[in-house]
Amino acid sequence: MLDMAQAREVFDASEDFTVGLEEEFGILDPGTHSLTHGFEELEAAAQEDEVLREAVAGELISSEIEIRSGRGATFADALGRQREARARLFGLAAEHGLLLAANGTHPWSPWQQQRIIDTDHYRRLDEELRYVAWRNNTFSLHVHVGVRGADRAIAVCDRLRSLLPELLALSANSPFLDGRDSGLQSVRSQIFTKSFPRCGVPDVFGDFAAYREYVELLVRVGSISEQTQLWWSVRPHHRFGTVEVRVCDAQTTAEESTAVAGLIVACVAQAALDHDEGSAPDPPPGRLIEENMWRAIRHGLEGKMIDLERGQEFPSAALGDRLLAWTAPARAGLAIDGTLPSENGAQRQRRALAGGATMEDVYLAEVAETQRSYAAEGVTT
């Protein structure tokens, strides 16, 4: 049974702007670059490593592995922890003859060949969701940011709803699926966000009491039994006292992942600061945010988005500058760099495809960049 009174206590005792990072990687056969069942092997080996023992986690299928920074006092602290875990995980995978990939989807490995890992949580998920879970062979970046106060955390989630499509457009990195170009920039979002229940853009709640009422209804009618069954792209995390942003595709390079994660932390912090100052705009209706969400899924940074306050279009390529300008106060206070990639991963992959490379060539180049960047960060002490 979800204890919502305890969840409120956790948020009311939370510390502002602590950070936790979670990155999901596909596990590949180095000969074929197809997904391979390697999680159990890596997890067992990770128990011999004092860092990875705590950092490694399973994530639905046996060809996927997640690393978690744990709670960092600052973004820099969390990033330092994550960099060490990244380097150790990539080294461990190499020792076991495996490669790790960091794209939102795998371009050709069939979902029918993947296996859900054998844990109580994922066995229950398998039984409840069936095809929806089986089809979800996707990889993402999640960022937790501490927000003090239960009502304040809900206000921040309400504010971030309209920013979800913008963060997705910046991070879109899954153009290929089922052996072909999907025509989308984030096909991961289409097969996960548009398929899972209680997923995507949440409603406006206004305060914790309204949120609590909804969650307790879901428990009472048997829809959910734990908080993790709320798969929204932004959600309050009951156990950590954080606002968790879950909308972004996994990023091919460590540099891209760091830049996107830093921007997310700044967005959460700025939303909290705006709330404190009483300057946050009224939350727009979900139907308008969904218009932008589709544009982000389909066109990423190459189309146009809707300025929901003005009711006018603007080039999606301007999203980075707009978000950096808005978050400037938070970034200054938290010492977060404002450098963003000049293009997202989907754009880079399509550019290579247009230049004559095959889809397989493009993916192999992406995997090589992943090995270079994540494994090359080195182990800190």
Q: In the chain, what are the domains? A: 4-375 (3.30.590.20)
Evaluate if residue 378 carries a pLDDT over 60.
no
Q: Torsion over CA of 266, 269, 271 and 276, rounded to 10 degrees? A: -150
**CA gyration radius for the chain?**
20
The pLDDT assigned to 48 comes to 95
Cα–Cα dist 88/305, whole Å: 40
The pLDDT assigned to 379 comes to 46
Q: How far is CA 53 from CA 85, 89, 263, in A?
A: 10, 10, 28
Model confidence, pTM: 0.97
Average pLDDT over residues 260-272: 98
pLDDT tens for each residue of 210-232: 999 999 999 999 999 999 999 99
Q: Are 340 and 263 in contact (CB under 8 A)?
A: yes
Locate 92 and state its tokens. 């461990």
Average pLDDT over residues 193-209: 96
Locate 69 and state its tokens. 């920074």
| Confidence bin at 381 (pLDDT 50/70/90) | very low
Evaluate if residue 91 carries a pLDDT over 70.
yes
Amino acid type, 245: V
The pLDDT assigned to 375 comes to 84
